[in-house]
Amino acid sequence: MNRSLFALFVIIFAFALADTIMAQDQPNIIFLMTDDQRCDNLGCYGRPEFKTTNIDHLARQGVVFDNAYYAVSICMPSRVTMMTGRFISSHQVGFSPPYDHTLSQSDFRDSYPAQLKAARYRTGFIGKFGFNVTEISRRPNGNKGYDFEKQLKEYFDFFAGDGTHTGGESKVWPQEDAKLVAIYDRGRKNTGRTLRNGEAMLHFLDTQPKDVPFCLSVSFLAVKHDSNSHMHAPHFDLFKDHEFSVPENWVEGANEKLPKVVKENWRGSPLHVQRSSTPELYQRQVRRFAAQGYTVDQQVGLMMDKLEEKGLLQNTVVIYTSDNGRFQGSHGLFDKALLYEESMKEPLIVFDGRKPESQRGRREDAMISSVDIAPTILSLAGVQPPESMQGNDFSKILNQTQDMSLWPRVVFMENLFLVSLRGARNKPNAVEINEKAIARNKSYRCHGVRTKRWKYFVYYEHDPKIEELYDLQADPFEQNNLVDDPAFEGTVKKLRKQTEKMYSRALE
């Protein structure tokens, strides 16, 4: 054989072999996210009455994080944070001006799906995408006519995205995949949004080529809304007569102890009175969330069975979480966003099929932030996280090789959403309207920190600033604000300084 031809053959063979080895070494990754699923609405987090048996089994086979917290607890910015590994103060993608930007194409290229696509992963997305990606970052986001396919097709091989919050239509591709198109056919008998997403998830696995790693992100729209149209009726029947336990900090009627700026300006107070402020309203709401959570749980079970059937389970990492919590009447609040535990505590389960049985099934108390998820996913795939990511890679915690003396003992949290400004996004003077709201002392924007023992946060745009401090060991339901107690003056000063330091970093 001609030497040059032989050399060329060797080079081609080496590249092919390298690709095969890479595909074998890189795990498949499935990222599952629900919408508004409160952490304790899962059996593995202490309430088996919610009947999440498949998720609980996933937890018993994986790592359950008991101190995971959202960097921001409202859907659009939380989703961006988990995809990009950046705080909302950095990416500024949210609902109310001036934090209502789109995410630029260049910034999305640093997200975990785009990075894995570049690393030769097959990438898929199913469900609620929840934010806009545009050529350059601009505000406001969510204008009508947004085109998922134009902005995102280069990053996803398989896409079945819902247009909620984007101003665009739901989109499905590849269009030549007749079964995928049929699953989302509007003329098809409605089997429910969660069941359709579950079908698409199984179809993605059925169409997965051999020897190619994949990353599939599934963002269920459940359990966000509690109308009849969002529930699978047979699953609701399992809960329709069940009397759910009531958290100790649930408040009947209005909560007069809340800060005035919250009571008068945050929608959570009046919505609680309307939707969760009596025992009957509470039970009605939670039964409906439980029914939707059960439907999601069934899809998780089907997914795990499919992975085993296809011989994929032993090389797949499954991550389960939600985009934010939900008050469900705790603190006399409905909704989320504010920095109390029910809103901020994140369910986080990581199952790694590569681990032997002897190394599976444990609980982890390290402090984890939702901003840490993207760099961890990339690290698990053997991809170096880009410098833009502000989170910490916790893959060594999963492997129990992390020097915990070097791991942060505090997480940073923030809320930049003012509901009164959401309708002002498209007005030319939106930023001026925001400044007037602050000047009139109507801003409840807040940020703070959580350690294993302490929670501190401050409504920093209010004059004077309003601060809250809770000892979560002695007061897990946050009923006793210690900020004015002289005995804790040193703790307040320390956590106030920590908050300011972490906020400065978040702005980078």
Q: Per the domain annotation, does 164 fall within a domain?
A: yes
Using CA atoms, how far apart are residues 48 and 65, in angstroms rounded to an integer?
17
- In a domain? residue 113: yes
Does residue 106 belong to any structural domain of this protein? yes
Which of 496, 494, 492, 465 lies closest to 481 in space, CA to CA? Answer: 492
324 with 249, same domain?
Answer: yes
Between CA 212 and CA 208 the distance in angstroms is 8
Considering the domain architecture, whether residues 366 and 419 belong to the same structural domain is answered as: no
Residue 201 has pLDDT above 80, yes or no: yes
Residue in the block written with tokens 């009605």: 284
Enclosing domain of residue 147: 28-400
Classify residue 42: in a domain, yes or no: yes
pLDDT at residue 23, as a whole number:
43
Beta bridge partners of 455: 450, 470
| Per-residue pLDDT, 212 | 97
Quick check: helix, strand or coil at residue 70? coil
Q: Residue 79's pLDDT is what?
A: 98
- Given a contact cutoff of 8 angstroms between Cβ atoms, the answer to whether 25 and 381 are in contact is no
349 and 235 assigned to the same domain:
yes
Rg of the chain over Cα atoms, rounded to whole angstroms, equals 23
Mean pLDDT of 79-84: 98
- In terms of domains, do 303 and 354 share one? yes
Query: Token pair for residue 114?
Result: 């785009």
Mean pLDDT, residues 362-369: 98
CB-based contact 73:337 (threshold 8 Å): yes
CA distances (Å), origin 441, targets 177, 292, 438: 54, 38, 5
376 and 434 inside one domain:
no
CA distance 410 to 407: 9
- For residue 359, being part of any structural domain is answered with yes
Cα–Cα dist 7/398, whole Å: 43
CB 103 within 8 A of CB 131: yes
**Domain C-terminal end among 400, 431, 456:** 400
Both 139 and 181 in one domain: the answer is yes
The CATH number covering residue 449 comes to: 3.30.1120
Q: Provide the whole-model pTM.
A: 0.94
Check: CB of residue 112 under 8 Å from CB of residue 75.
no
pLDDT band (50, 70, 90) for residue 123? very high
DSSP codes joined into one string, 327-364: -TTBTT--S--SSSHHHHB---EEEETTS-GGG--EEE
Taking residue 240's Cβ as centre, other Cβ atoms within 10 Å add up to 11
**Residue predicted with more confidence, 227 or 214:** 214
Is residue 323 within 8 A of residue 75, CB to CB? The reply is: yes
On whether both 170 and 69 belong to a single domain, the answer is: yes
* Band (205; pLDDT cuts 50, 70, 90): very high
Residue 60: inside a domain: yes
Q: At what angle do helices 373-380 and 75-84 cross, to 10 degrees?
A: 30
Q: Residue 414: pLDDT above 60? A: yes
Is the confidence at residue 18, as pLDDT, over 80? no
Report CA dihedral (107, 109, 113, 117) to the nearest 10 degrees: 180
Check if the beta carbon of residue 102 is closer than 8 Å to that of residue 403: no
Q: State how far the Cα of 387 lies from the Cα of 368, in Å rounded to an integer.
A: 19
Task: Quickly count: other Cβ atoms within 10 Å of residue 134's Cβ.
Answer: 18
Question: Is 20 part of a structural domain of the chain?
Answer: no
Tokens of 264: 């008068």
| E strand or H helix that includes residue 415 | strand 411-415
Q: Is the pLDDT of residue 16 over 70?
A: no
End position of a domain, from candidates 345, 375, 400: 400
| Peptide bond connecting 97 to the previous residue in cis, omega within 30 degrees of 0 | no
Domain check: are 259 and 229 in the same one?
yes
Work out the pLDDT band at 190, boundaries 50, 70, 90. low
* Beta strands per DSSP E along 98-250: 103-104, 122-128, 133-134, 158-162, 171-173, 214-219
Pairing, β 466-471 against β 454-459: antiparallel
In a domain, 13, yes or no: no
245-259: b (≥16 Cβ within 10 Å) or e = eebebbbeeebeebb
Residue of 479, 477, 481, 502 whose CA lies nearest to 491: 481
67 and 193 assigned to the same domain = yes
Runs of H (alpha helix) within 211-329: 233-236, 260-265, 268-275, 279-309
CATH of the domain at 136: 3.40.720.10
**Domains contained in the chain, number:** 2
Which range has the worst mean pLDDT, 44-58, 190-204, 262-276, 324-338? 190-204
Structure confidence at residue 2 as a pLDDT band (50, 70, 90)? low
State the helix-helix crossing angle for 193-206 and 279-309, rounded to 10 degrees.
10
Mean pLDDT in the chain? 94
Do 123 and 257 sit in the same domain of this protein? yes
Average pLDDT over residues 123-150: 95
In this structure, the answer to whether residues 262 and 170 fall within a common structural domain is yes
Task: Say whether both 417 and 381 belong to one domain.
Answer: no
Please identify, among 400, 428, 450, the residue that sits at the C-terminal boundary of a domain.
400
